[in-house]
């Protein structure tokens, strides 16, 4: 007979609690009896685990369910009024911070721009300010906040809470978790921003049922969150997903990473503006120049002008779609994912880029890898970053 020791017992309890909590999250409101059937555990075990979760206020009892004769069962659901999370999505130019409940609903949101100072002290102060601001007038919610999740630009060593390298700010080895835990006295979990987005998409977005998918974030930078075999893939040195730095052109365009011709240097917001400017310099006309000086044009202006029918703006955006399609075909061929989800500011120019993306992906990928592939937008829209950041903490809660 195998003797089950205390460590085994704890592990078994943890596994049981996890599957019960997962069932309540996915199927709630749900009765103890139905949980028992779904997770294949006896009613007494379910009851004792449920009691623990009720004591910890992670779940709550609600209403009365349908009865199949006899006493009507009480239903269980996640306790969204007792568990809040702060999600911080740190971009390159701004930070978006939100107060989120355990079901991924955004309760309050603030956006702060970074100043010109890019050292950690300055950026860090703005991040802290955004957290204080988002809970202003929400004292009770802040009390019930179980943690702060942060999506950080660049290379992140999540387990030790360290931002290894942030290319846009040129900082190295900052222990972000330490700094923010001391400031707010809450659990803090960090991850690369795009990787956090992919996690949010898995829990609350378009890829709930997906096992292998890529979230491609195209905005001020370009990165990919890779979700493989049911988990985030981080790589040997936490550098997986840096698809923005694959070489895509032989033109000598310098990228932030120090190399030349990167995907990001031509297809990010800045890349779009640069290509537009060089066409203007070579003599092309655009109605945008009747409205503003060439030095002030943003990629959003180019999108708006394309909507007005400006030929050059339309051409530049369609070309962007082809670059993005080429980038996607690389991951389709290498990783054979079931879904590709697009997020970030540039992906919102859908009228001009989507058709080109689809066409290019189908032109450049191996046919076999295209079977049943889904290519679409994040269903979390502009909140993908903050929901993703909050999910870092929610996932941690669910792994009790
Ligand atoms: Zn690069």
pLDDT in tens, 173-186: 999 999 999 999 99
CA of 246 to the centre of ligand 1 (A): 7
The Cα–Cα gap between 110 and 126 comes to 11
pLDDT of residue 63: 80
Other beta carbons less than 10 A from residue 57's beta carbon: 13
pLDDT of residue 69: 67
pLDDT of residue 249: 94
pLDDT class of 214 with cuts at 50, 70, 90: very high
pLDDT of residue 248: 96
CATH match of 208-378 with 3.40.190.10: no
Other beta carbons less than 10 A from residue 387's beta carbon: 30
CA of 357 to the centre of ligand 1 (A): 21
CA of 244 to the centre of ligand 1 (A): 6
pLDDT class of 343 with cuts at 50, 70, 90: very high
- What are 372's two structure tokens? 């049943």
Instruction: List, as one string, the DSSP characters of 342-394.
Output: EESGGGG-HHHHHHHHHHHHHHHS-HHHHTT-EEEE-TTGGGHHHHHHHHHHH
Percent of the chain with pLDDT over 90: 88
CA of 87 to the centre of ligand 1 (A): 28
What is the CATH number that goes with domain 6-78?
1.10.10.10
CA of 172 to the centre of ligand 1 (A): 17
Mean pLDDT across 364-386: 96
Mean pLDDT across 207-231: 95
pLDDT of residue 400: 67
Mean pLDDT across 84-111: 96
Mean pLDDT across 336-358: 96
The Cα–Cα gap between 374 and 362 comes to 12
Which string of b and e fits 201-221 if b means at least 16 CB within 10 Å? bbbbbbbeebebbbbbbbbbb
pLDDT of residue 1: 57
CA of 243 to the centre of ligand 1 (A): 9
The Cα–Cα gap between 294 and 275 comes to 12
Let me know: does 289 contact 302? Beta carbons within 8 Å.
no
CA of 305 to the centre of ligand 1 (A): 28
Give the distance from CA 120 to its chain's centroid.
Answer: 22
pLDDT of residue 141: 97
Q: Which tens digits make up the pLDDT trace of 310-331?
A: 999 999 999 999 999 999 999 9
Give the distance from CA 285 to its chain's centroid.
Answer: 38
Share the mean pLDDT of the chain: 94
Percent of the chain with pLDDT over 70: 97
Q: Where in the chain is the domain with CATH 1.10.10.10?
A: 6-78
Q: Where in the chain is the domain with CATH 3.30.420.40?
A: 84-202+384-398, 208-378
Let me know: does 126 contact 134? Beta carbons within 8 Å.
no
CA of 221 to the centre of ligand 1 (A): 9
Q: Which tens digits make up the pLDDT trace of 238-286?
A: 999 999 999 999 999 999 888 999 999 999 999 999 999 999 999 999 9
CA of 280 to the centre of ligand 1 (A): 25
pLDDT of residue 14: 87
pLDDT of residue 257: 85
The Cα–Cα gap between 385 and 205 comes to 12
CA of 266 to the centre of ligand 1 (A): 10
> At the top level of CATH, which class does the domain 84-202+384-398 belong to?
alpha beta
124, exposed or middle or buried, with CB in 10 Å at 0-12, 13-18, 19+?
A: middle
The Cα–Cα gap between 180 and 396 comes to 17
Alpha helices in the chain (DSSP H): 6-27, 32-39, 43-55, 120-134, 139-143, 176-184, 193-204, 263-267, 269-281, 299-307, 311-335, 350-364, 367-370, 384-398
């Amino acid at each position: 007979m195998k003797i089950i020791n205390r460590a085994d017992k704890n592990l078994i309890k943890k596994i049981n609690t996890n599957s019960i909590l997962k069932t309540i999250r996915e199927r709630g409101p749900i009765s103890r009896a139905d949980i028992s059937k779904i997770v294949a555990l006896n009613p007494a075990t379910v009851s004792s685990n449920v009691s623990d979760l009720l004591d910890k206020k992670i779940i709550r009892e609600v209403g009365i369910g349908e009865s199949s004769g006899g006493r009507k069962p009480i239903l269980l659901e996640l306790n969204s009024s007792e568990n809040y999370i702060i999600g911080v999505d740190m971009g390159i130019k701004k930070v978006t911070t939100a107060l989120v409940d355990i079901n991924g609903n955004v309760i309050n949101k603030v956006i702060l721009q970074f100043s010109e100072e890019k050292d950690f002290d300055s950026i860090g102060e703005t991040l802290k300010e955004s957290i204080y601001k988002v809970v202003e007038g929400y004292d009770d919610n802040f009390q019930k906040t179980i943690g702060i999740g942060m999506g950080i630009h660049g290379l992140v060593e999540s387990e030790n809470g360290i931002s290894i390298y942030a290319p846009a700010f040129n900082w190295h080895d900052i222990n972000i978790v330490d700094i923010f835990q001391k400031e707010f006295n809450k659990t803090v979990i960090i991850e690369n921003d795009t990787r956090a987005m992919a996690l949010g998409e898995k829990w609350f977005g378009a890829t709930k049922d997906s096992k292998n998918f890529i979230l491609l974030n195209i905005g001020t930078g370009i990165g990919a969150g890779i979700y493989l075999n049911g988990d985030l893939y981080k790589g040997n040195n936490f550098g997986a997903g840096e698809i923005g730095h694959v070489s895509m052109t032989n033109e000598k365009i310098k990228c932030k990473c120090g190399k030349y011709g990167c995907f990001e240097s031509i297809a990010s917001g800045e890349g779009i503006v640069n290509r537009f400017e060089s066409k203007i310099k070579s003599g092309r006309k655009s109605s945008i120049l009747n409205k503003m000086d060439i030095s002030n044009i943003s990629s959003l202006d180019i999108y708006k002008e394309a909507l007005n029918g400006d030929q050059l703006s339309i051409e530049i955006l369609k070309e962007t779609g082809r670059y993005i399609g080429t980038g996607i075909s690389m991951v389709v061929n290498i990783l054979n994912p079931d879904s590709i989800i697009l997020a970030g500011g540039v992906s919102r120019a859908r009228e001009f880029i989507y058709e080109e993306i689809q066409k290019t992906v189908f032109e450049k990928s191996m046919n076999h890898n295209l079977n049943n592939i889904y290519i679409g937008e994040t269903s979390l829209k502009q909140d993908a970053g903050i929901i993703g950041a909050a999910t870092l903490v929610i996932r941690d809660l669910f792994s009790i």
